[in-house]
Amino acid sequence: MTDTATAPPTGTVHPAFEPVREVFEGLFRSGAETGAALCVYHRGLPVVDLYGGVADPVTGAPWRADTLVALTSVTKTVLATVVLRCAQDGLIDIDRPVADHWPEFAAGGKGGITVATALSHRAGIPFFPRPVTFADQVARTPVLEMLAGLRPVWEPGTRHGYHAITLGFLLTELLRRATGSSEGPLVRDVLARPLGLDLHLGLTPDQVPRVAGVVPPEDGEDRFDPSIAEYCAAVKDPSSLFHRATFGSSAMTFEDMNDVRYHTVERPAAGYATAAAVARLFASLAGAPDGVRLLEPEWTDRARTPYAAGTDQVFRFETSFGLGYMLPGGRLWTGGSRAFGHIGSTGALAFADPEQQLAFAYLPNRMKHVYEFPDRRATALARAAVAAATARPDGQESP
């Protein structure tokens, strides 16, 4: 019998995308993966749907087609897509202040922060005064009071810096105030049901057994890159904006990512999905799979318009953001020169490229090295997918 950890990934691949399979299988052979799933759409149809390895490192349970994966910061694009759909439907005006919906948010000089400013990481409130605990997230009120009481550390709109923890709470409260619904039902009703997605923000107890166990990252000292030395130093400096915006703003540890309590609480970072679901979500932003399109073309264009570019005040290297999505430019991006999407702390990557009609979702359960930007696995897979899409002959549509 072939051991689960060494068995080749299973699934389907269009002949034009065989190079993607080769890269994916190579990651397992090299030991770079524990378990992972990869799905790619091209011209509205799935052309890669692969998964393999170990879903539960404790029991050795194999990865299956319906294994759910923690999306980590890819969840930001899920929330951003809901916000933009609400804007498209007239429920939110992205050019108006957040405080129009949430008056308490105006305190501390935040009254002029628009929805677009927040979505593009320019609000100047990247960290909480103390780590948000699990109890805080269950109660919600303590988190919202902290968020409403924040004072910008730079003039909103003038600079940008990654709001790793604060943005999710800001967006979920904005949505609740604008729609009267919390984030879980909104994701279900606005995204999951129309597209038939196995995508969730907070799980029910019966879904928990399908969740892949997260493998914490290695320290990654061997990945130290002198070209991002300022970021690498900030990782271990409690006074840095990066440390305060990440480790200093959340009490959740890497080990807590496997705590069932976190899976079942409806909260901004509780996104779970299959790679097939995330790829189909992004396919709906790149086109209209099965005729279903979440955002009209003009809203897709607004989503990927560069609102922020240059030196990131948190990461201390170049980044670029649209409305809730990462864009080409800087060390975070590896999804192609015309795409928009997001990475996650596991090494996850999801993006859409409307010009190529390409959508990509890679979800591993072994977390990336803390000093590694971009993730080498995601980079190799994305490059293979973009190259295959570029080389695919017109009219070659059948699987």
Q: HSE on the CB side for 84, CA within 13 Å?
A: 27
Q: Which two tokens stand for residue 75?
A: 């969840």
Yes or no: say if 127 and 121 are a contact pair by the CB < 8 Å rule.
no
In our burial notation (b when 16+ CB lie closer than 10 A, e otherwise), range 156-182 reads bbebbbbbbbbbbbbbbbbbbbbbeeb
Rounded CA gap, 125 and 240, in Å?
14
| CA 169 distance to own-chain centroid | 15
Rounded CA gap, 366 and 218, in Å?
10
- Would residue 30 show up in a list of annotated catalytic residues for this protein? no
Q: Which two tokens stand for residue 33?
A: 């993966």
Given 3-state DSSP classes, what are the helix, strand and coil percentages for the chain, each rounded to the nearest 5?
A: 40, 15, 45
| Phi-psi region at 181: left, alpha or beta (left = phi > 0; alpha = psi -120 to 50) | beta
Q: Which two tokens stand for residue 388?
A: 């295959």
Rounded CA gap, 341 and 239, in Å?
30
Active-site residue identified among 30, 73, 337, 345? 73
Rounded to 10 degrees, the C-alpha dihedral 268/274/277/283 comes to: 100
- Catalytic positions, written as ranges: 73
